[in-house]
Amino acid sequence: MELQTLTFIVVGITFSIYIGIAFWARAGTTSEFYVAGGGIHPIANGMATAADWMSAASFISMAGLIAFYGYGGSVFLMGWTGGYVLLAMLLAPYLRKYGKFTVPEFIGDRFYSKVARIVAVICLIVASVTYVIGQMKGIGVAFSRFLEVSYELGLLIGMGIVFIYAVIGGMKGITYTQIAQYCVLIFAYTIPAIFISLNLTGNPIPQLGLGSMLAGTDTYLLDRLDQVVTELGFAEYTTLSRLGTFNTFVYTLSLMIGTAGLPHVIIRFFTVTKVSDARVSAGWALIFITILYTTAPAVAAMARLNLHETISPTNGANLVYDERPDWFKNWEKTGLLKFEDLNGDGRISYTADKATNEMVKVDKDIMVLANPEIARLPNWVIALVAAGGLAAALSTAAGLLLAIASSISHDLLKGVFRPDINEKQELLASRISMAGAIALAGYFGFNPPDFAAGTVALAFGLAASSIFPVLMMGIFSKRINKEGAIAGMVAGLSITLLYVFQHKGIMFVASTSYLGDMKPNWFMGIEPNAFGAVGAVVNFSVAYVVSMMTPEPPEHIQHMVEDIRVPSGASSAHSH
Amino acid sequence: MAEYNKEKRQAYWRENVRLMVILLSIWFVISYLCGIVFVEELNTIRLGGYKLGFWFAQQGSMYGFVAIVFTYAHLMAKLDRKYDLHE
């Protein structure tokens, strides 16, 4: 069957499933809208969390980053999984025990301050909106590349689908669609990986194939890859360190802390029945994530090897441009691959040296998107990859939108401005906030701001420097008071924003950067994307010092802290 | 009764924190030490086709994280019952 038709069919089927779930899982109460009624099974929540977590960036971009950064790409693998260890031990069980609907609500109660709650809402919205812009772009791009509809129409269709199940179903609808989306995306990611690993090494398990010998030879795949790339003048794949050990260390730490502090991930743990379920559920989430994250390095290395072997075969001359394969032509059309015949010999020369390299553009995203075609897999696999990319982007967008909507309707409206509204009015307000959040995200999708490329990294920096430290201190210290918490959040957030802006420009407008984005200008050699961990240290220190200089929290707050530290007496999440 | 309860809760919390410190040390060793700080030294050892440091950074650390989280969940469930503080 024609690829185009097949893609429409596969994507159409998955979308009908999502809409079907939306009508089946309608939310009738605020508890259902905010925390899916609080009765989600830990394994189901683990799966939903994995889909919530793995965005278009994980699905499409991560393997490509690893393919070109080699060992240097490890920061994303360790950083985006190691955070779940922190989440499972330091935050999720205690926040579940507290049993409220939103992250700012805990911060407001623990630090007995509406100001703290509002500051937390601001941190949450800034982090989540910057994150959701990337997802919206991902949806539009996936549509335009695979279904050849325009970017705008693709974005509108995506927004329409999210609108249906997020506005009607709230967290309940989102949870069940995320479970379906996880199945689609993990299937779409692993099937091509299995085929490619089998082709190259004879081992169907990509994680083992990566450590195996190439089929029919006695050379290990990774050794061959190292040899191929170094012969072309690129850095050795398995030892390439992007910006040195210290920066790698701090970057990994920032991603871990940021992961644990992202509100749309934390609120997923409010949907399980018990404290012990929250702990186990974090484990399941991590298993479901690790399946993709340990496959990604195999996809990366194998795709990179396939790419070089196609263009510059070991035994023989470089590929003749006129004999290039179909996938090459297809991706040239999208502008993601670009060839210029510099020496006029009609053959493609792909090297590290800018003077002789004729592959003037090789977009990193191609590694996942074109992988099935490069490996000559059947058309239905390619169609599946399209559906998987869309599932990854939609599931993350929906989770983020819920975090934004609930912080507006529950924290700002019900919590601060109109505490007298009843549940029915709040439910309506939450649906309206959700619709508003989708419209806002859509607006940024249609008019991507200059800073779209830098936004996901910024979201991690903000979550790491503002939300994670204040939650952790709220649980592990009885002494941190409202003055300390507010000062800590403001200090952590400001210093991180300041650092990013001074190197990348105010709101990422490059001309306003007053310190160039280059290593000699970085504080201790730390790149701006990796600065969240430093912001977190500042947050912890400021909060500690300010708390010590001001009165300790009232008695009932100290009791509250003692109470959240033990599981007994938990009830499902509620509003009062 | 209330006093006894308070002591019990404190003992439970101390054991919880001790367990966390142990598990977070393992978390630190398998990712930051094996995968980043001592990666070059470990790369001189091979694990099949993998250099060991590279394997920790792109495979091993993640398997370790999964094991850590499930170990924590399991031991905490036991601890909850030991102190009769389970749900």
Q: CATH number for the domain including A425?
A: 1.20.1730.10
Q: Could you give the ipTM of this predicted complex? A: 0.96
B25 shares contact with chain A (CB less than 8 Å):
no
Residues of chain A with C-beta less than 8 angstroms from the C-beta of B76: 93, 276, 279
Separation CA B84–CA A238 (nearest Å): 50
Residue A476 inside a domain? The answer is no
Separation CA A26–CA A176 (nearest Å): 11
Please write the tens of the pLDDT for every residue from A361-401: 888 878 888 888 877 888 888 888 889 989 998 999 999 99
Together in a domain, A245 and A195: yes
Please write the tens of the pLDDT for every residue from A30-51: 999 999 988 899 999 999 999 9
User: A272 burial class (0-12, 13-18, 19+ CB within 10 angstroms)?
Assistant: buried
Residues of chain A with C-beta less than 8 angstroms from the C-beta of B66: 283, 286-287, 290
Residue A298 inside a domain? The answer is yes
Q: What is the structure's pLDDT at B1? A: 45
Show the tokens assigned to B36.
């980043």
B20 shares contact with chain A (CB less than 8 Å):
yes
Share of chain A above pLDDT 90, in %: 57
Residue A202 inside a domain? The answer is yes
State yes or no: pLDDT of A510 exceeds 70.
no
Residues of chain A with C-beta less than 8 angstroms from the C-beta of B37: 245, 249
Give exposure, A176-194, as e/b (b: 16+ Cβ within 10 Å): bbbbbbbbbbbebbbbbbb
Helix H or strand E encompassing A338: strand A337-339
Whole-angstrom CA distances from A273 to A411, A566, B48, B72 are: 23, 15, 44, 18
CB-based contact A567 B54, cutoff 8 Å = no
Distance from CA of B65 to the nearest CA of A (A): 6
Separation CA A257–CA A87 (nearest Å): 9
Place of tokens 């399946």: A291
Together in a domain, A149 and A248: yes
A233: left (phi over 0), alpha (psi -120 to 50) or beta: left
User: A138 burial class (0-12, 13-18, 19+ CB within 10 angstroms)?
Assistant: buried
| Domain assignment of residue A350, given as a range | 312-362
Helix H or strand E encompassing A78: helix A74-86
Separation CA A202–CA A209 (nearest Å): 8
Together in a domain, A296 and A351: no
Distance from CA of B2 to the nearest CA of A (A): 13
State yes or no: pLDDT of A161 exceeds 90.
no
State yes or no: pLDDT of A149 exceeds 70.
yes
Picking from A226, A568, A572 by the largest number of B CB atoms within 10 A of its own CB, the best residue to mutate is A568
Picking from B6, B27, B55, B58 by the largest number of A CB atoms within 10 A of its own CB, the best residue to mutate is B58
Together in a domain, A356 and A427: no
CB-based contact A568 B43, cutoff 8 Å = no
Picking from B3, B27, B47, B66 by the largest number of A CB atoms within 10 A of its own CB, the best residue to mutate is B66
Please write the tens of the pLDDT for every residue from B46-80: 999 999 999 999 999 999 999 999 999 999 999 99
State yes or no: pLDDT of A80 exceeds 70.
yes
Residues of chain A with C-beta less than 8 angstroms from the C-beta of B69: 84-85, 88-89, 279, 282-283, 286
Chain A residue whose CA is closest to B13: A565
Picking from A54, A65, A78 by the largest number of B CB atoms within 10 A of its own CB, the best residue to mutate is A78
Distance from CA of B57 to the nearest CA of A (A): 6
Residue A8 or residue B18, greater confidence: B18
CB-based contact A294 B62, cutoff 8 Å = yes
Distance from CA of B59 to the nearest CA of A (A): 6
Show the tokens assigned to A375.
């490996």
B28 shares contact with chain A (CB less than 8 Å):
no
Mean pLDDT (whole number) for A548-568:
93
**What is the total count of domains within chain A?**
2
Residue A254 inside a domain? The answer is yes
DSSP A215-226: TTSSSBHHHHHH
Q: Which of A436, A457, A478 is the last residue of a domain?
A: A457
CB-based contact B62 A293, cutoff 8 Å = yes
Chain B residue whose CA is closest to A279: B73
Please write the tens of the pLDDT for every residue from A454-475: 567 778 888 999 999 999 999 9
Q: What is the structure's pLDDT at A454? A: 58
Together in a domain, A321 and A275: no
Residue A315 or residue A319, greater confidence: A319
Is residue A194 within 8 A of residue A187, CB to CB? The reply is: no
Which amino acid is it at B30? I
Chain A residue whose CA is closest to B48: A211
Is residue B73 within 8 A of residue A280, CB to CB? The reply is: yes
Together in a domain, A264 and A189: yes
Q: What is the structure's pLDDT at A512? A: 66
Whole-angstrom CA distances from A478 to A103, A473, B11 are: 18, 8, 16
Is residue A372 within 8 A of residue A382, CB to CB? The reply is: yes
Separation CA A177–CA A48 (nearest Å): 8
Residues of chain A with C-beta less than 8 angstroms from the C-beta of B63: 290, 294
Q: Which of A457, A486, A510 is the last residue of a domain?
A: A457
Q: Which of A457, A491, A526 is the last residue of a domain?
A: A457
Q: What is the structure's pLDDT at A575? A: 53
* Option in B27, B39, B47 nearest A85 (CB): B27
Please write the tens of the pLDDT for every residue from A252-306: 999 999 999 999 999 999 999 999 999 999 999 999 999 999 999 999 999 999 8
Residues of chain A with C-beta less than 8 angstroms from the C-beta of B55: 211
State yes or no: pLDDT of A135 exceeds 80.
yes
* Option in A71, A88, A249 nearest B54 (CB): A71
CB-based contact A81 B62, cutoff 8 Å = yes
Residues of chain A with C-beta less than 8 angstroms from the C-beta of B29: none
Residue A559 inside a domain? The answer is no
In A245-336, the DSSP E strands lie at: none
The mean pLDDT value of chain A amounts to 89
Number of Cβ atoms within 10 Å of the Cβ of A239 = 16
Number of Cβ atoms within 10 Å of the Cβ of A355 = 6
Mean pLDDT (whole number) for A3-11:
88
Together in a domain, A165 and A119: yes
State yes or no: pLDDT of B2 exceeds 60.
no
Together in a domain, A285 and A264: yes
Distance from CA of A352 to the nearest CA of B (A): 23
Residue A474 inside a domain? The answer is no
Please write the tens of the pLDDT for every residue from A174-185: 999 999 999 999
Q: What is the structure's pLDDT at A191? A: 92
In A351-497, the DSSP E strands lie at: 359-362
Q: What is the structure's pLDDT at A469? A: 96
B38 shares contact with chain A (CB less than 8 Å):
no
Share of chain A above pLDDT 70, in %: 95
Picking from A53, A238, A246 by the largest number of B CB atoms within 10 A of its own CB, the best residue to mutate is A238
Q: What is the structure's pLDDT at A427? A: 92
Together in a domain, A105 and A232: yes
Q: Count H helices, E strands: chain A?
A: 25, 2
Share of chain B above pLDDT 90, in %: 84
Residue B60 or residue A338, greater confidence: B60
State yes or no: pLDDT of A24 exceeds 50.
yes
The closest alpha carbon to A371, from A293, A295, A289, belongs to: A295
DSSP A85-98: HHIIIIIHHHHHHH
Separation CA A301–CA A541 (nearest Å): 41
Rounded to the nearest 10 degrees, what angle do helices A379-406 and A114-146 cross at? 160
User: A527 burial class (0-12, 13-18, 19+ CB within 10 angstroms)?
Assistant: buried
Chain A residue whose CA is closest to B39: A239
Mean pLDDT (whole number) for A126-146:
82
- The DSSP symbol for B51 reads E
Together in a domain, A8 and A118: yes
DSSP 3-state of A418: coil
Residue A547 inside a domain? The answer is no
Q: What is the structure's pLDDT at A374? A: 77
In A244-286, the DSSP E strands lie at: none
Distance from CA of A382 to the nearest CA of B (A): 26
Together in a domain, A71 and A202: yes
Q: Is the pTM of this model over 0.80?
A: yes
B69 shares contact with chain A (CB less than 8 Å):
yes
Chain B residue whose CA is closest to A201: B49
Residue A530 inside a domain? The answer is no
* Residue A146, φ and ψ in degrees, nearest 5: -95, -30
The closest alpha carbon to A459, from A138, A128, A187, A154, belongs to: A128
Count residue pairs from A and B with Cβ separation < 8 A.
139
Residues of chain A with C-beta less than 8 angstroms from the C-beta of B58: 66, 71, 73-74, 77, 294, 297
Q: What is the CA radius of gyration of chain A?
A: 24
Helix H or strand E encompassing A108: helix A103-110
* Option in B49, B65, B72 nearest A212 (CB): B49
Torsion on CA atoms A488, A493, A498, A503, rounded to nearest 10:
130
Together in a domain, A254 and A348: no
Mean pLDDT (whole number) for A308-316:
83
Which amino acid is it at A26? R
CB-based contact A211 B50, cutoff 8 Å = yes
Separation CA A165–CA A187 (nearest Å): 22
Residues of chain A with C-beta less than 8 angstroms from the C-beta of B54: 71, 74, 222, 238-239
